[in-house]
Structure 1
Amino acid sequence: MLKRLSNKKVLYDIEAQTAAKFVFSNNAIKDVRKVSLNVQSEQLSSVLEKLLTPLSISYEVTGQRIVLKRKETRTGVFEAVEPLNTEGVVAPKMVYATVKGVVRDASNELLIGASVQLENSNKGTLTDEKGEFSLVIDDNEASGNLVVTFVGYDKLIVPIYLNAPMVITLSEAGALSEVVVVGYGEKSKKKVTTSISSVKGDLVNELPVGTAGDALAAAAAGVQVSSGFGGMPGESPTIRIRGIGSLGADNAPLYVVDGYPLQSEANFASINPADIESIEVLKDAASAAIYGSRAANGVIIVTTKRGKDTKTRFNASFITGSQAITKKVDVLNREEFNEYIPLLRGIKYKVLDSLQRYEGTDWQDQIFRNTSYQEAKLSAAGGSEKAKFVFSAGYLNQPGVLLGTGAKRYTLRINFDGELTPQLKTGVSLAPSYVEQDRRPNGGNFNTSSDGEYGVVVPSPIYTALLISPAIPLQLPDGRFAQPNF
């Protein structure tokens, strides 16, 4: 029994004895009137009716909060009506429950400030600094769903569970939509308005190519890929983005690997294609603006594989195959050559009779060969929430179809990412490589060569094989090599 207490004091006593919380303004509840109540084992609604009705105050229940409002007073003439017969009418008893849980992402990071809302309702809350939430619902809402949202994550709708705290995991929005790497980071592909072509690492790994540049052929629109240095093994292909931009200056694009610009195409050719996560080709000025004048011919951005918060996984593969020229150039054989020579006008010398007894030589058969190549790959990747790593090693042996050409490449890559504190992260990337190449001149004529690295006049084998007389033997009867005088 409460005797001669102020309005507010009575409300505070009710709060102390129940789970209810009152919300009111000073204008609605004036602490000037003293009231007395005599209640025992009555429902809260009955107590409120006895307390608030004489004060012309109404109330509204929202969860565990009870909002008090002063009733509107009306003036005028009212007709008398018969009182409502409430005999036998029992008001339903409202039962409340509390839904509790925690919201986190796929890496178990707590999401602070995530929205948790009852579906098809305005009732909701936000997660606290521990990623936890608590929401009061009534028995009619217990069979509903919760809608959980957070910036940068996909919306999730889950059924309400009351028996234990709920654990809700949201997926990053970028993990479910294709992304491309641009100058300042990553963007969703559907939101990019600039001209970018993307080639995924899975496609690069499936192709039987020796260099990453070869994988771009026919894989990216607006990108022209041609064999560099006559298609010698191990050579970086010539890549041009949307044609050439200058008749005299260099037209090669800028190569960027994991954020670091490369000095030349040769460095790009030394990358093991199995280490590539994705390749993005920035083709217009808007997408490549961050790189300035160096990006005048476009930018090729390579992202290598990084470790993930998973168990360590090992991968090993061995690939072998054969190589051969698909078609030889059709040239005269010995008989056709000997018949054609006398028909030439102004010929200075006739064909020697001694050459007639030789079978003749197909010089293309002498300089080309069928070869086999081998490639071996080994990798390990994994880590934990705080440390992730990728280790890979590769070996490529690619003999050329032209005698005296070939390439061997040895690669090693170590990518490590660590989190010392939530504010301090560190990363290490090591990618040593070793390449051996055997090359031959690929152009010029009998007396000149287009390859300036030799420093001397070296005839081009392919050019020479097409023009040398088929009547000249490869070797003389005494075993010596024939040396035609050009």
Structure 2
Amino acid sequence: MFVGILSNAVLGHPNCKDGLMTVSDVRKIIQEKSFLDKVTGYFDNIVVNGVVVDEKGEPLPGVVIKVKGTTRSTVSGNNGRFYISATDENPTLIFSYIGYKTIEITAVTTLTVNMILDPAKLDEVLVMGYGTTTRRLSTGSQSGITAKDIEKQPVTNLLQTIQARIPGVTIVQTNGLPGAGINVQIRGANSIGKTNRPLYIIDGVPYLSEQINLAASATGNTGLPSAEGQTSPLNTINPADIESIEVLKDADATAIYGSRAANGVVLITTKKGKAGKTKFGVNASSGASVVPRFVEMLGIDQYLALRRKGFANVTTNPAAPSTTTAPDLLLWDQTKNTNWLQELLGGTARTNDVSANVSGGDSRTNFYISGTYHKEGNVYPGDQSYQRGGVNVNINH
């Protein structure tokens, strides 16, 4: 049986020529895991069978269970039960649910998890169109992030900070160039022929929604030339100056702001000075990125051999290569070998960002002043970098 399996593996291996292989290649085949071995290894993982209960000992459905350090996750069922497998020797499970504290527990085969109430989360302040409320009292569908979440992300556009963080909100950059436009959809597309852009409100004031180059054109639809295609209006705002971002997704948005909010509302609150000692902060960062792996292409010798083989295989209407049909075989230099992927995509995209702020005041007057400079390049040849500089002054009396 082993000989039969080995012979089939040898004959089907790409290094097998005329039924012959070197000893080293055969050893590699023996060492490679078969599909059966991989399936068997999967069932060797630890499988956790558990139940999640609340503070009263009642089953708690909808709890998100995730294996720490991996993307493997599951959700507890209506009876609070869950099943999940892990590959680590001592895996850690993370349990999270709205209104409860996030818990980390070392996995065992049978597990009972008691969730702990966290009332502070339900009393978090939410910014609404006509004031503020708390998650406990909010009746609308509203999600958002705070400055703590924003400052961890080195992004150019503040909309990128909520990408994949708020359910029901889709954010896609129009192309890979720095400073490019961003398409935002809240709960899908609401119109086929018209735009689906939401309404932006910054500190209670409506802000530009369409792309800057489109808004600056005479017709409003052709657009002025722009290297990055369409420039998002929110590129002009420094993400470090943002206190919170809230997204209104349902009828609340239309009820407060009217038909302009038919596609949802993005409420942006900027940082303001607070009474107390004057504070000064500086944040500087620098980074670089490259294309980690290129597709393997033909070399000059392989390409020429392929071209000659193509002419040799023409049997219905054979024709010898000519300067018209095959200049690469007869006229062009057959010794030069240029890796065009490396030439066009082999650069280094460097990013530099510097921001500084000073804030303070007393019970009557407070201030917040900040400045920023951002420069971001790309991997393409030439200078196609995106630069942004700005100053923000906020004084309240």
TM value normalised by structure 2: 0.57
Note if 1:390 corresponds to 2:335. Answer: no
Which of 254, 264, 272 in structure 1 is aligned with 2:199? Answer: 254
Q: CA deviation at 1:309?
A: 0.9
TM-aligned CA distance change 1:335 to 1:375, over 3 Å: same
Matches within 5 A, 1:236-385: 236-263=181-208, 264-265=210-211, 266-342=232-308, 343=310, 349-350=325-326, 351-368=328-345, 369-385=347-363
TM-aligned CA distance change 1:196 to 1:176, over 3 Å: closer
Q: CA deviation at 1:176?
A: 9.6
Contact 2:356-2:371 at 8 Å conserved across structures = yes
TM-aligned CA distance change 1:184 to 1:174, over 3 Å: farther
Contact 1:179-1:188 at 8 Å conserved across structures = yes
Q: Percent identity?
A: 32
Query: Hey, what's the Cα distance between the residues in 2 that align with 1:245 and 1:201?
Result: 30
Q: CA deviation at 1:178?
A: 0.8
Matches within 5 A, 1:153-164: none
Query: Hey, what's the Cα distance between the residues in 1 that align with 2:275 and 2:122?
Result: 18
Q: CA deviation at 1:282?
A: 1.0
Q: Which residue of 2 aligns with 1:222?
A: 168
Letter in 2 for 1:255: Y
Contact 2:253-2:261 at 8 Å conserved across structures = no
Contact 2:177-2:378 at 8 Å conserved across structures = yes
TM-aligned CA distance change 1:186 to 1:327, over 3 Å: farther
- Structure of greater relative contact order (alpha carbons < 8 Å, 6+ residues apart): 2
Q: CA deviation at 1:208?
A: 1.3
Q: CA deviation at 1:251?
A: 1.4
Q: CA deviation at 1:174?
A: 10
Q: Which residue of 1 aligns with 2:384?
A: 405
Contact 1:195-1:287 at 8 Å conserved across structures = no
Contact 1:308-1:389 at 8 Å conserved across structures = yes
Query: Hey, what's the Cα distance between the residues in 2 that align with 1:326 and 1:239?
Result: 29
Q: CA deviation at 1:314?
A: 0.2
CA RMSD of aligned residues (A): 2.5
Contact 1:282-1:288 at 8 Å conserved across structures = no
Letter in 2 for 1:362: N
TM-aligned CA distance change 1:298 to 1:366, over 3 Å: same
Larger CA deviation: 231-240 vs 312-321: 231-240
Note if 1:210 corresponds to 2:156. Answer: yes
Q: CA deviation at 1:243?
A: 1.8
Contact 1:255-1:268 at 8 Å conserved across structures = no
Query: Hey, what's the Cα distance between the residues in 2 that align with 1:276 and 1:199?
Result: 10
The SS at the match of 1:286 is helix
The SS at the match of 1:320 is strand
Matches within 5 A, 1:437-456: none
Q: Provide structure 2 residue ranges, at least 5 long, that are not aligned to the other structure.
A: 1-118, 212-231
Deviations 1:382-422 (A, max 9, x none): 1001101100000101112222321110011011110xxxx
Deviations 1:270-314 (A, max 9, x none): 110000000001111224421212112111111000111111100
Q: Provide structure 1 residue ranges, at least 5 long, that are not aligned to the other structure.
A: 1-172, 419-486
Query: Hey, what's the Cα distance between the residues in 1 that align with 2:207 and 2:159?
Result: 14
Letter in 1 for 2:238: N
Q: CA deviation at 1:329?
A: 4.3
Query: Hey, what's the Cα distance between the residues in 2 that align with 1:361 and 1:284?
Result: 55
Letter in 1 for 2:367: F
Q: Which residue of 2 aligns with 1:482?
A: none
Q: Which residue of 1 aligns with 2:177?
A: 232
Letter in 2 for 1:186: T
Deviations 1:214-255 (A, max 9, x none): 111111111112122x12112232222122222221111111
Q: CA deviation at 1:210?
A: 1.3
The SS at the match of 1:191 is coil
Note if 1:179 corresponds to 2:130. Answer: no
Letter in 2 for 1:321: G
Contact 2:122-2:136 at 8 Å conserved across structures = no
TM-aligned CA distance change 1:178 to 1:255, over 3 Å: same
Structure holding more helix per residue:
2
Letter in 1 for 2:159: G
Letter in 2 for 1:279: I
Q: Whose radius of gyration is greater, 1 or 2?
A: 1
